[in-house]
Amino acid sequence: MNIRKILEKTGDMPTLPSVAARINSEILKESLTARRLGAIISEDAALTAKILRLANSAFYGLSSQVVSVEKAIIILGFNAVKNLALSISIYLFFRKGIKTNIDVQGLWNHCLGCAVAAKILVEKTDKRLGDDAFLFGIIHDIGKIILINNHLTEMEKVLGIMKEQKISQNAAENEVFGFTHQKLGGLLLKEWKFPENIIAGVRLHHDLPPNPKKLDHDAAQTIRALCIGNQMAKALTLGKSTDPGRMAIPPQMWKFLGAGKDDLPALSARIKEEYGNILTAWAAK
């Protein structure tokens, strides 16, 4: 199957929800101010309600209630709120009504678990990068969900082959589609005008260690946290990835994040607790 054809085929090209598309295009034009962000989000009542619910959850642990998007931007920060809006837009692709034995809810929860783990890991050395790491986690398996939504039969075949031949999802994807979900995800994010760093994160999330060539320091750190976060989400069974196989994490990757194997029990406990917090807030109606 030709990856370009999948992207180009009319009607199959998944479009990004309009709020996220507007946010990305304003970032590209460097015109996205806190005021503009607040205005774009506020036009969408459901998105506003969800952002406020998450901002007031135990995950962010604020001491007082936030009642407006503008306040959320001031207290949580511009980047946190922008990335929450993008995360909620990505969530819309995880359609639970779809008739399949693939666990779509489990896959979403895995992405949420990966987001929490990546955020906590990167914040060990650099608090500034936490909100980006969270979004990287949410979006990292976007290629999988697009394939589930648009090429379900083939995707079910991928999972069948994985079980039969005891091979990784990437190997089975190459067999069925001729490309991997991370490659498709990277190309999609390019179409959707996401910044280069996050495209690199999606493309490299199965590369251990990811080759940070041409990446700046912040991107390389965030991507390392994403790669480890993905493995930790599987190890701690946060949600259910479609590919339960785990990869060993090279010790130098831990070093970059200021951690080692000794830190694992404490890190795991924190990740599990925060995952519980965000899961509750995300599911609340």
The minimum distance between CB 202 and Fe ion, in angstroms, equals 9
**Residue 54, both tokens:** 């998450």
The minimum distance between CB 144 and Fe ion, in angstroms, equals 6
The minimum distance between CB 168 and Fe ion, in angstroms, equals 10
Q: What Rg value do the Cα atoms of the chain yield, rounded?
A: 18
Between residues 23 and 138, which has the closer beta carbon with respect to Fe ion? Answer: 138
d(CA 212, CA 204): 9
Between residues 81 and 83, which has the closer beta carbon with respect to Fe ion? Answer: 83
Site size for Fe ion, by CB under 5 A?
Answer: 3
The minimum distance between CB 242 and Fe ion, in angstroms, equals 8
Near Fe ion by CB under 5 A, which window of 7-15, 84-92, 222-230, 250-258?
Answer: 222-230
Instruction: State phi, psi for 242 to the nearest 5 degrees.
Output: -70, -15
Between residues 38 and 185, which has the closer beta carbon with respect to Fe ion? Answer: 185
173 binds Fe ion, rule: CB under 5 A: no
**Residue 162, both tokens:** 């994985």
Distances (CA, A) of 193 to 7, 106, 109, 170, 198: 14, 28, 25, 25, 10
Helix, strand and coil percent figures for the chain, each rounded to 5: 65, 0, 35
230 binds Fe ion, rule: CB under 5 A: yes
d(CA 142, CA 217): 24
Between residues 38 and 229, which has the closer beta carbon with respect to Fe ion? Answer: 229
Between residues 60 and 108, which has the closer beta carbon with respect to Fe ion? Answer: 108
d(CA 102, CA 99): 9
Residues 235-264 that bind Fe ion (CB under 5 A): 241
Q: Which helix (H) or strand (E) holds 88?
A: helix 78-91
The minimum distance between CB 182 and Fe ion, in angstroms, equals 6
Residues 139-158 that bind Fe ion (CB under 5 A): 141
Contacts to Fe ion by CB under 5 A: 141, 230, 241
